[in-house]
Structure 1
Amino acid sequence: MTFTDEYKGDNAMEAHVNTKLHVIHTNDRKQMAITLAQYERHLSLQRHKIVGIDLEYDNDPEATQKPALCQLSIGKNHPVLLFQMSDSERCTVFDNFLADPRYTFAGFSINGDKTRLERVKLEVANFVDIQKEWRVPEATKPLDSLGDVSGVLIDDYYNNMKKKITDDKRQRWAILPLSRRHIKYAAKDAYAAMALVADTCVYAEGLQLTNTEWRGMLGCLMIHNRGFCAPFLHRLTTADLQESWKLPSTIKFHAPSSGKLTLETEHKNGYGDMEADYHIDSEDCINITTGWKDFVSQNGFEAGEVAMVFFYKEEDSIKFTIFTI
């Protein structure tokens, strides 16, 4: 018997403060196909085609365990799809979506998921393991769950996410109906996996990163308290390292039209902290002026390096934290 339970509007699931998720929980292959078609239309317009994915398993012994629920998310403005695999017939549309090489599927500690999928003869293309790719330099504790990592990069709300559901309830993913607590937990997992990867993909048009630069960027992102999760990435040119640096108009930062800001960096020459002037010109571009050249010289920035810039406010001051990779 097919079912579709939808949670939206006042009934939507809270991911974290100010972020509500529209969730569709279904075993109906038609409803699943409609939702995946919506995903494909949106992803076709995106440069970075990222899908958050997570699996919950049935309660069989670990040696024979299979997926009970597949959670998919492409962002907070689109429904999170919870497809009840344990209570649905095999579907080519679903299989083909997971195997589509155009998409990057982001999960956490995915070896177990891969094993369970193999047992039902399914494979996920471009499966990215957040746990393997991201590390915290000199971390005081290991980030051993998706909730831990999400608490650092997205919102404190995700800290201890795994404790929001008991071990007994975690064993009931194949038993219907799922409780609202199960639905909320599953939706947040898929959304968090997507957001961790998507929110770090803010590239200047045409910027390509080497594997070394990519891993360096992820390492910087995993340092606590470094501003927004979505930095501005730019490969520095010789012109950028002169008297001033003009950022593109795509960088929208609410600030007075001119004033002073603090430039902070951790670079090959060590920690740097300096004050500079800025103004926002008629094209809405932020121009860092007096102080910028000295900052560049002090820290040894070179043309060709990729600058990763976080923007944030501290009381009445503005701070740009710059890493180069």
Structure 2
Amino acid sequence: MTFTDEYKGNNAMVAHGNTKLHVIHTNDKKQNANTLAQYERHLSLQRHKIVGIDLEYDNDPEATQKPALCQLSIGKNHPALLFQMSDTERCIVFDNFLANPRYTFAGFSIDGDKTRLEHVKLEVANFVDIQKEWRVPEATKPLDSLEDVSGMLIDDNYNNMKKKITDDEHERWATLPLFRRHIEYASKDAYAAMAPVADTCVYAEGLELTNTEWRNMLGCVMIPNRGFRAPFLHRLTTADLQESGKLPSTIKFHAPSSGKLTLETEHKNGYGDIQADYHIDSEDCINITTGWKDFVSQNGFEAGEVAMVFFYKEEDSIKFTIFAL
């Protein structure tokens, strides 16, 4: 028997804070095809075509274990799709979507997922492992789970994802009906798989980044305690490298009208920091004056480079950390 359970509006799944996820849980091939068609229309307009993916398995022995549930997400503004593979016939539209090389499917520690997909003769064409591709440098502990990464980059709430369902519940993904706790866990897993990758693409909107710049950006974002997850991303112009530096009016940073700040960088010339003066002008823009030119010279910044800036405000100081990608 086919089914479609939809969770939206007041019944939507809470991902974290005020972020809610519209979720479709189905074994209906027609509903699955309709949702994937929505995905394809959205992805056709995106430069980085990122799909978050995760799998939950049935309770067979590991040697024959198969996917029970496939979770897909393309972001919080689109429904997360939970396709119940253990209780449906083969869906060619679904198979073709996974095999489409235009899309990047972001997962975490995907070796096990690849093996289970092979058991049902399925393959993801462009499967990227967040754990392997963007391993966090200088971490105090290995990030050995998706919860670790999501807790650092998205919200602390993700650190407790594993506690949302019991071990017994985790073994019944192929047994219907699934509890609401299962749906919440599965939808957050799919969203968390793509958010650290796809959300960083938003920072690059309006910029044509090379693959190297894009990967470097992800590496910088995933350094613990380096700032929040929405840095200012900007391609340096000749004007930016003059006597003073001015942040655009879109960057609102609450601070005294003038004072000193610390500029630090990790760049091709290594780590460096310098004290600089700043003032906030009539347009509410931060102008970095004395010290900016020395900072530019010291670090060898050049017009055309993409700079990613993290902002920090402490009780008595302001700090900008600048990465040149």
1:275 maps to 276
Q: Residue 295 of structure 2 aligns to which amino acid in structure 1?
A: F
SS at match of 2:185: helix
Structure 1 residue 223 displacement after superposition: 1.8
* TM-superposition CA deviations, 1:207-250 (whole Å, max 9, x none): 33354x5544333222222223233334444443221334556x
Letter in 2 for 1:19: T
Whether 1:253 aligns to 2:249 is no
1:41 aligned residue: 41
Aligned length: 322
Q: Give the corresponding residue for 2:157.
A: 157
TM-score by length of 2: 0.88
Give the corresponding residue for 1:110: 110
Pairwise CA distance, 1:55: 0.5
Q: 2:210: which partner in 1?
A: 209
The whole-number CA distance in structure 2 between the counterparts of 1:114 and 1:26 is: 22
Q: 1:285 to 1:168 in 2, by over 3 A?
A: same
> Quick one: distance in 1 between partners of 2:216 and 2:223?
12
- The letter of the residue matching 1:265 is E
Q: CA 1:316/1:63 → structure 2, altered by over 3 Å: closer, same or farther?
A: same
Residues 66 and 107 of structure 1, relative CA distance in 2, 3 Å threshold: same
Alpha-carbon contact 1:261-1:317 (below 8 Å) kept? yes
Which residue pairs with 2:240 in the alignment? 240
Offset from partner CA, 1:124-169 (integer Å, 9 cap, x none): 1221100001222222211100000111111111114223322221
Superposed counterparts of 1:5-24, under 5 Å: 5-24=5-24
Query: Which amino acid is the alignment partner of residue 172 of structure 1?
Result: R
Q: Measure how far apart 1:83 and its partner are.
A: 0.5
Are 1:189 and 2:189 matched, yes or no?
yes
Q: Distance in 1 between matches of 2:84 and 2:279?
A: 53
Residue identity over aligned pairs, in percent, reads: 78
**Pair 290,258 (structure 1): closer, same or farther in 2 beyond 3 Å:** farther
**What is the CA deviation profile of residues 175-198 of structure 1, one whole-angstrom value per residue up to 9, with x for unaligned ones?**
000011111110010001110101
Structure 1 residues 231-240 or 95-104, which shifts more?
231-240
How big is the shift at 1:44?
1.7
Q: Which residue of 2 aligns with 1:89?
A: 89
CA distance in 2, matches of 1:44, 1:258: 45
Q: Is the 8 A contact 1:57 1:69 kept in 2?
A: yes
Which amino acid counterpart does residue 27 of structure 1 have in structure 2? N
Given the superposition, is the C-alpha separation of residues 209 and 56 from structure 1 closer, same or farther in structure 2, using an over 3 Å criterion?
same
Higher mean C-alpha displacement, 232-241 vs 116-125? 232-241
Instruction: Please list the CA deviations of residues 86-134 of structure 1 after superposition, one character each: whole Å capped at 9, or x if unmatched.
Output: 1111111111111122211110011111111122121112211000012
1:147 and 2:147 equivalent?
yes
CA-based RMSD of the aligned residues comes to: 2.6
Contact 2:139 2:224 in 1 (8 A): no
Normalised TM-score (structure 1): 0.88
Shift of 1:313: 4.2
* Cα distance, 1:61–1:226 mapped onto 2, change above 3 Å: same
Amino acid across the alignment from 1:39:
Y
Aligned match of 1:60: 60
Q: CA deviation at 1:5?
A: 0.9
Which sits farther off after the overlay, 188-197 or 27-36?
27-36
Cα distance in 2, alignment partners of residues 10 and 240 from structure 1: 47
Q: SS where residue 219 of structure 1 aligns?
A: helix
Q: Which moved more, 1:36-45 or 1:292-301?
A: 292-301
Conserved 8 A contact 1:244-1:290: yes
Unpaired stretches in structure 1, ≥5 consecutive residues = none
Cα 1:294–1:38 change in 2 (3 A) is same
1:107/1:318 CA distance change after superposition, 3 Å: same
